[in-house]
Each structure stands twice: as structure tokens, then as C-alpha cells.
Amino acid sequence: MSNERSEWDWDAVKHALRRALENEAVGGEPSAESAQQELRRRARELARPWSLEDNAETLSLLPFEIEGACYALEPDYVLEAFAAEALTPIPCTPGHVAGLIVLRGRMLPVLDLHVVLGMASQTGEGRRKVIVLSDGRMEFGLQCDRVLGTYELPLAQLQTENRGHSPYIKGITTDQWAVLDAGALLGDVSLVVDRTV
Amino acid sequence: MSAFKNLKTRNKLLATFALLALVFTVALLLAYRNLQEMQQSQQRLVDEQFGLLLHLKDMRVDTNALRATLVTSALEQRMPETQRAGLRERLKDQTESVDFLVRQSAGDSRVAGLAETYKQVWAEFAAAATDEILPLLATGQYRQAREVILGPQSDRVERLRELGDQIVAVENAHIEQLMTQNKQRVESQRNGMVVVFCVVLVLMVLLAWVMARLIAGPLENLTRWAHQIADGEVSSQRPSEARRDEVGLLSEAFFDMSRYLSDLARNAERIAEGDLREDPEPKSERDALGNAFYRMVTNLRATLQDIQEGSMVLGAASQEILASTSQVVSSAQETATSISEITTTVEEVKQTASVASDKARHVNESAERTKQVSKEGQAAIASSMDGMRQIREQMHAVAGSIVKLSEQSQAIGEVVATVNDLAEQSNLLGVNASIEAMRSGEYGKGFSAVAQEVKSLSVQSKQATAQVRAILNDIQNALNKAVMLAEQSSKAVDNGYQQAEASAQAILTLKESIEESSGAAVHIAASSQQQLVGMDQVATAMENIKQASQENVEGTQQAEQAARNLHDLGKRLKGRVSQFQLGTASELDPLSEGRMMTSPPVGDLSKKV
């Protein structure tokens, strides 16, 4: 212990602490150098030309993640995304129904996409994001781990072949995103639970 | 021949000599007779023939002398009476001589006629001389006498001379013939003698050979036999030839001697084979060898019995000795091994003692140094107590700061959680805004960029908060550790302080102990030096003991070997003695019987052995 301590450069430690105190005194603002660097980086990013928009037809997609697997939805059927506070499980429902959630005074069923797609699912615990889908008649939420935002995908990058046997998947992107058919999901009556207990 | 053989040798020799003497005598007699014949013949020759011739010669000389006397008388013309008487006497003698001649030659026909004639002529001559001449002379008629003498008388003389010559010639021829006869006879006699001598010689040789064959041959055989006996080759073979002479008797005697010797040899052989049951009977009191054998067998039997008993005792004793020496050897070996181990141990102990002595010296020096050091330590512990006190105060201050820091980091954590929540919400807001923008189509595009930017910012702030949270996590972990360490250190320092106090006390006690132990170390050093010297002596003594025990082992091994040899000897002796059969000994020797009774039976002893 004594050796470790003796190896420490006490002067360096003192200097670092003094600088931190000085920063604090300025008001939490980053230093001029770091601010300059950050600003330059952002400028370069913005200056990048948006070439895809002009040349090719694109498909707007809303990608999200479930257990590390990436899926994407066409934003046409998406109402919104929000962070769920508490999911109420419904007893006597099939496995794909994760539970109920109250959204601004409305009751919204939430589905587990992995169960719907016939994949083994872990517990829905921790999936705090819900994407709300609606076609005007049917409305439900999809549990997910993370919403990645919107994305413009060139159509050339979407493979509609080899998309598997699932009726809910429209295609696979080159980044291995499974592009979901939101209309098919919403129109599938098999997902509707009409049961009296 | 066998009869001759059976004759005594003396008689044989006498007979042979007699035979030889007889033959010699016969031969000599023959020779003598021949010589006598020769002599007689020679004598006869001399007597008859040569006597006649001499007689004749004498007569002629006398005749001539008579005539000469007459002539001389006639010529001298004197003739005394005495001379005439002498003449007459001489004539008369001459006449007798002529008669003698006639007589002598009567046996020989050739001479007899001539002698007769000579006698007639002589008678005429004598008559003429007596009757004519002498009377003439006596009367002095010398001339007439001369005429008569030179006339007829001279013719008659001439006639007589011729006759005498004839007789001489005849006699000479006769003598020549007789000489030749004699010569032939001598020749034949000589040849006969040679033959006889040859025969005698052959006979002698033959006799000598026969005698040699009869006497010397068997004697040679006997000599050979005697030599064989002298060389120890005894055979009781009876001689094939049975004779009653000295040679035969000698052979018999030799045969008896040989039989006697072979009997002795058989006895000796039996004794050699160990059969002592029978006693050899001496032939007489003067039988030196037989008596010696008898005594030898009796003595041998007694000796063997003694040896038998002795070998039994020796066997048992040697067995016990062997067992004892074996035990002794094994004990000695064990002892030697133990002593060797002890020696090694002592050597090790000595080494240890040496090391201990060194150590003690070292300890002594160390104790001196320690004493010094403990003095210094006492001073040092006083100053370290001061230091410890300061450390305790500072440590308390550090712990207070760390506790404060921990509280503040928790406040930071809460702030960061709030910021993270904000970032999450702004992210969702951005997403929703972009969804709305998409749904708004072309018109929402600008809004979409803004929404994207909002979302990007929210993502960045979320990342920043995540970083902050991570750093804060680290800080909090570190602080947790620091708090724990500070707590532990504080307690440790407190403990340390107390322990330092205790150690100060301990060092003080230690100092006193060290001073005591320093004194003890001096004693130990001295003692261990003495111990080392003692151990050296012990090691030397042990080495001597080891050597002695080694020698002891060798000695006992030799003793064991000797005992084994003795045992073997006893066994061998017993085996040798058991080869002898002493069956009849007890019957013959009452003394030995008594000894046998007192000694234990053989079987029991051998079983015991």
C-alpha cells in the first residue's frame, strides 16, 4: 500500500484538481478548446451532402432494437413512441400479449414482437419503450429496448427475397434490419384476442 | 626226466660230474691205449729194424777190421800167438753175430735168404781165415797167406759187402713201410681223439644246458617271484610244476610265504575297508607280522572307539559352538551396524554440535549487536510513537474528507440521473417529432431535420450522461473503497497506535530479555565449545569402537568359519569312523564294552547333532 501511494504523483493530482476547480468557477462551460473541437465536428457532419435524396428513391424507416436484433417500421402506421412507466400484465391472454398500458387516458394493449414472430422471447421486463401502431381501426403498442430514430433507406438496399416465411416481414436490409409490414400486423385478426373467461 | 628232476640237486650235480668223469676217463683211456700202441710200434721198429741194421753195420766193421788185421799181419810178416788167439776169438764172436743176424731175420722172408747166404759166405770166410791163413801165418808163410788174403778171401769180403748192402736196402725199404704205417696210425688216432673230444664237448654242453634248465630256470622264476613280492605284488598262485627237489621245496616255501603275505594283505585290505570285526589270528608266537597285525587291529579298534566317542562329542560341541558363533557373528554384525549407525549419528551430532557452537558464537555476537540494536530500537520506538500519533490525527482528517466526498458524489449521481431522464425524454421527443415530420410528407422535411438534430443532441447528452454516470460509478466505487479503506485505516491506525504502544512496552521488555539472553548466549557459546570438544572425543572414541567392532565382526566371522571347519571336521571324522565296523570289539575287549556302555548310543547322538 505504502509503495503504491509513494508512486503516485501528488503534484499531478493537485494540478488536476486545481484545474477542475477553475472550470467550476467559470460556470460549467467547457473549455474554449474542447468547445471549438465539438463545434468543428458538428459542422463537418452537417456539411456532408445528402446525396441519396436526389438520386434514388428512399424508404423512410423507424428502426428499433429488441434483444440486440434490429427491426424497422414504416412510419406511416406509427403514431408515436414513448417510455412506458408501468406495464400491467393481463391474465388469461396468449403469450404475444405482453400487457396493458395507459396512454393519455387510453387503454393500449402491448404485444411482444418476438412472440408474434414465433421466436423464443425473454421476459418483457426492462423493455421500457413502446411504439404505438394504428391504422385507424386497430391500435396496439410494440415493446422494444431502444428506438433508434428515423432513417432514409435507399430502396436498392432492401431485399424482398429471402425474407423468410413470416408474413409480417417485408424485407431485409443490407444492415440485417428486418423491415416489418405494419399493415399486416395491424390487419391480422389472429392477433386479436376475443375471449371471455 | 621227472625222475631226474626229483633227484636232489647235489645228486644231480654228482651224477652229472660222474658222467662227465666217466666220459673223460673213457676218452683218456682210448687215447692212452693208442699212445701205447704207437709206442710199441715205434719200439718194435727201433728194436727190430734199426737193431738189425746196427748189428749188420757192426758186423761189417768187425769183418773189415779182421781183414785189415790179417792184411797188416801178412804185410808185416809177423803174427804173434796172442794176436792169433785174439783173431780166433773175434772170428768166433763174428760168427755168433752172424748167427744172431740169421736168427733175427728169421721172421722176415725177404731178409732170411740173404742172411742165410751171408752166413754161408761168412762161414767160408771164417773157415778160410782159420784154416788157411792163420796156419800160414803161424808158419811164416806170409806170402801164401798174402795171396790167400788178397785172393779168395778178398772176394768173399766183397761178397759179404754186397750182401750187407742188399740186406740194408731191404731193411730200409721195410723201415720205410713201417714208418708209413705208423704215420697212418697216428693220423687215425688223432682223428679218433678229435671225434671223441667233440663228442665229450657236446655232451658237456648238453649237460650244462640241461642243468641250467633244470636248476637255474626255476631259480630265476623264483627270483622273479621274490622280486615281485619285494615290490609288493603278492599272488598266492601255486607253482604249476610239482617237484621234490630243492627248487620244488623252495617253490613250495615261496608259495607258503606268498599265501601268508596275501593273507596278511587280505587282512590289511579288510582293515583298510574298515572291517575290524575279526582279529587276524597269528600263526604262532613267533609270527611277528601276525602278532603285529593282531595288536594293530586291537589298538586300532580301541583308538577308533575313542575317536568315535570323541567325534560324537566333537560334533555336538562343534554344533553348539557353530550355533553360538553364528549368534555371536549376527550379534556382532548387528552391533557393528548399530555402532556404525551410532558413529554416523555421533558424527552428525558432532557436526551439529560444531554448527551449534558456530551458531552459539554467532548468537553471542548477534546478542551483542541485538543489545545495541535494542537500545537504538528503544529510542526509535519513542520517535515512532510520536509519528504514530500524528498519523492517527491525519488519518482521522482524511477519513472525514472522504466521507464528505462520498456524500457529494451521491448528490452528483442524483443530478446525473435527472439529466439522463431528461435526455431520454428529449430523445423520444425527437423520435416522435421525426415521425410526425414524416407523416407530414414534403412539408415536414425541414422539421424532420430539426427533429433529427434534437434527437441527435438527446442521444449525445445521453451518451455524456452515460459517461458521467460511468465515471461517477467509478468514483463512487472508488469512494466506497476509499471509505472502507479510510475506516479500516482509521481503525488500523488506532490499532497500530495501540500496538505501537504495546510494542514500545514489548521492546522495553525485549531489551531486558535481550540483555538476559546475551548473558545466556555467552554461557551457551562457552558450553557449546566445551560440548564440541567433548563430541570430538566421543566421535574419536566411537570411531575406535567402530573399528574394534569391525574387527570383532571379522574375528567372530573367522571364529564362525573355524567353528564351521571344526564342525565339518567332526562330521568328516564321524563319517570316517562310521566306515569302520567294530562289531566284535565288545566281545573281544571287555574294557571297551564298559566304555561303550557308559557312552550314549550312536543313533541318539547323531539325532541330537
Taking the Cβ of residue A78 and every Cβ of chain B, the question of whether any pair is shorter than 8 Å is answered with yes
Choose among B428, B434, B438: nearest Cβ to A82: B428
Q: Which residues of B touch A129 (CB under 8 A)?
A: 428
Q: SS3 of B275, please?
A: strand
Which of A55-64, A91-100, A157-166 is the least confident region? Answer: A157-166
Per-residue pLDDT at B600 exceeds 70: no
Put simply, the answer to whether B431 touches A81 (Cβ < 8 Å) is: yes
Give me the pLDDT at residue B603, please: 41
Question: Which whole number is the average pLDDT over B577-591?
Answer: 58
Single out the residue of B567, B596, B598 nearest to residue B316, CA to CA. B567
Give me the pLDDT at residue B11, please: 85
Q: Are B559 and B297 in contact (CB under 8 A)?
A: no
Summarised one tens digit per residue, pLDDT across range B302-321 is 888 888 888 888 888 888 88
Give me the pLDDT at residue A162, please: 66
DSSP letters along B361-399, please? Answer: HHHHHHHHHHHHHHHHHHHHHHHHHHHHHHHHHHHHHHH
Strand partners for B257? none
DSSP state of B107: G
Strand partners for A158? A173
Rounded CA-CA distance B193/A26 in Å is 200
* pLDDT tier for residue A163 given thresholds of 50, 70 and 90: low
Give me the pLDDT at residue A29, please: 64
Q: Are A78 and B434 in contact (CB under 8 A)?
A: no
Q: Which residues of A touch B439 (CB under 8 A)?
A: 75-76
Give me the pLDDT at residue B607, please: 40
Query: How far are the Cα atoms of A24, A113, B245, B320, B563 from residue B317, in angstroms, in the given order?
Result: 119, 114, 67, 5, 10
- Percentage, residues of chain B above pLDDT 70: 94
Question: Which whole number is the average pLDDT over B205-226?
Answer: 85
Rounded CA-CA distance A89/A110 in Å is 9
Q: Which residues of A touch B424 (CB under 8 A)?
A: 83
Summarised one tens digit per residue, pLDDT across range A51-80 is 545 556 788 888 898 888 899 988 888 888
Q: At what angle do helices B288-439 and B445-578 cross, to 10 degrees?
A: 170
* pLDDT tier for residue B1 given thresholds of 50, 70 and 90: low
Q: How many angstroms separate the most distant Cα atoms in chain B?
A: 275
Instruction: Say which residue the cell 423491415 belongs to.
Output: A179
Give me the pLDDT at residue B566, please: 83
* pLDDT tier for residue B403 given thresholds of 50, 70 and 90: confident
Q: Are B542 and B339 in contact (CB under 8 A)?
A: yes
Contacts 24+ apart (CB under 8 A), B383-388: B384/B500, B385/B500, B385/B501, B385/B504, B388/B493, B388/B496, B388/B497, B388/B500
Question: Which whole number is the average pLDDT over B387-412?
Answer: 85
Select from B391, B428, B435, B440 the residue whose CB has the most chain A CBs within 10 Å, as the one to mutate to test that interface: B435
* pLDDT tier for residue B554 given thresholds of 50, 70 and 90: confident
Task: Give the A:B interface size as CB pairs under 8 Å.
Answer: 40
Rounded CA-CA distance B248/B256 in Å is 12
* pLDDT tier for residue B239 given thresholds of 50, 70 and 90: low
Contacts 24+ apart (CB under 8 A), B8-12: B8/B245, B8/B246, B9/B215, B9/B245, B9/B246, B9/B247, B12/B211, B12/B214, B12/B215, B12/B245
Question: Which whole number is the average pLDDT over B226-254?
Answer: 78
Rounded CA-CA distance B479/A11 in Å is 21
Around A191, how many Cα atoms within 13 Å sit in the side-chain half-sphere? 26
* pLDDT tier for residue B592 given thresholds of 50, 70 and 90: very low
Rounded CA-CA distance B481/B485 in Å is 6
Q: Which residues of A touch B435 (CB under 8 A)?
A: 62, 75, 78-81, 150
Q: How far is A195 from chain B (nearest CA, A)?
A: 33
Give me the pLDDT at residue B585, please: 43
Q: What angle do CA B22, B23, B29 make, to 5 degrees?
A: 85
SS (H, E, C) chain A: CHHHHHHCCHHHHHHHHHHHHHHHHHCCCCCHHHHHHHHHHHHHHHCCCCHHHHHCCEEEEEEEEECCEEEEECCCCEEEEEECCCCECCCCCCCCEEEEEEECCEEEEEECHHHHCCCCCCCCCCCCEEEEEECCCCEEEEEECEECCCEEEEHHHEECCCCCCCCCEEEEECCCCEEECHHHHHHCHHHCCCCCC
Mean per-residue pLDDT over chain B, rounded: 81
Give me the pLDDT at residue A121, please: 64
In chain B, the residue whose alpha carbon lies closest to the alpha carbon of A45 is B453
Summarised one tens digit per residue, pLDDT across range B81-92 is 787 788 888 888
Strand partners for A59? A153
Put simply, the answer to whether B448 touches A81 (Cβ < 8 Å) is: no
Put simply, the answer to whether A81 touches B425 (Cβ < 8 Å) is: no
Q: Are A73 and A62 in contact (CB under 8 A)?
A: yes
Question: Which whole number is the average pLDDT over B164-179?
Answer: 85
Q: Which residues of B touch A81 (CB under 8 A)?
A: 428, 431-432, 435
Question: Which whole number is the average pLDDT over B541-549?
Answer: 86
Per-residue pLDDT at B103 exceeds 60: yes
Give me the pLDDT at residue A127, please: 64
Summarised one tens digit per residue, pLDDT across range A13-29 is 888 888 877 776 666 56
Q: How far is A70 from chain B (nearest CA, A)?
A: 16
Amino acid identity of B424?
A: E
Give me the pLDDT at residue A122, please: 64
In chain A, the residue whose alpha carbon lies closest to the alpha carbon of B453 is A46
Around A77, how many Cα atoms within 13 Å sit in the side-chain half-sphere? 22
Per-residue pLDDT at B48 exceeds 60: yes
Rounded CA-CA distance B606/B609 in Å is 5
Q: What angle do CA B269, B274, B279 make, to 5 degrees?
A: 75
Query: How far are the Cα atoms of B172, B209, B297, B602 from residue B291, in angstroms, in the given order?
Result: 97, 45, 10, 31
In chain A, the residue whose alpha carbon lies closest to the alpha carbon of B427 is A149
Per-residue pLDDT at B609 exceeds 50: no
Taking the Cβ of residue B432 and every Cβ of chain A, the question of whether any pair is shorter than 8 Å is answered with yes
Rounded CA-CA distance A99/A87 in Å is 6
Choose among B432, B437, B455: nearest Cβ to A80: B432
Name the grid cell of B489: 485505516
- B338 compared with A196, residue with greater pLDDT: B338
* pLDDT tier for residue B604 given thresholds of 50, 70 and 90: very low
Per-residue pLDDT at B606 exceeds 70: no
- B97 compared with A49, residue with greater pLDDT: B97
Question: Which whole number is the average pLDDT over B366-395?
Answer: 84
Taking the Cβ of residue A127 and every Cβ of chain B, the question of whether any pair is shorter than 8 Å is answered with no
Put simply, the answer to whether B425 touches A83 (Cβ < 8 Å) is: yes
Question: Which whole number is the average pLDDT over B484-510?
Answer: 82
Taking the Cβ of residue B452 and every Cβ of chain A, the question of whether any pair is shorter than 8 Å is answered with yes
Which of A107-116, B259-268, B585-594 is the least confident region? Answer: B585-594
Summarised one tens digit per residue, pLDDT across range B317-353 is 888 888 888 888 888 888 888 888 888 888 888 888 8
Give me the pLDDT at residue B601, please: 41
- A51 compared with B508, residue with greater pLDDT: B508
Give me the pLDDT at residue A49, please: 67
Per-residue pLDDT at A180 exceeds 80: yes
What element of type H or E holds B418? helix B288-439
Q: What angle do CA B480, B481, B482 make, to 5 degrees?
A: 90
Name the grid cell of B238: 601255486
Choose among B425, B435, B452: nearest Cβ to A62: B435
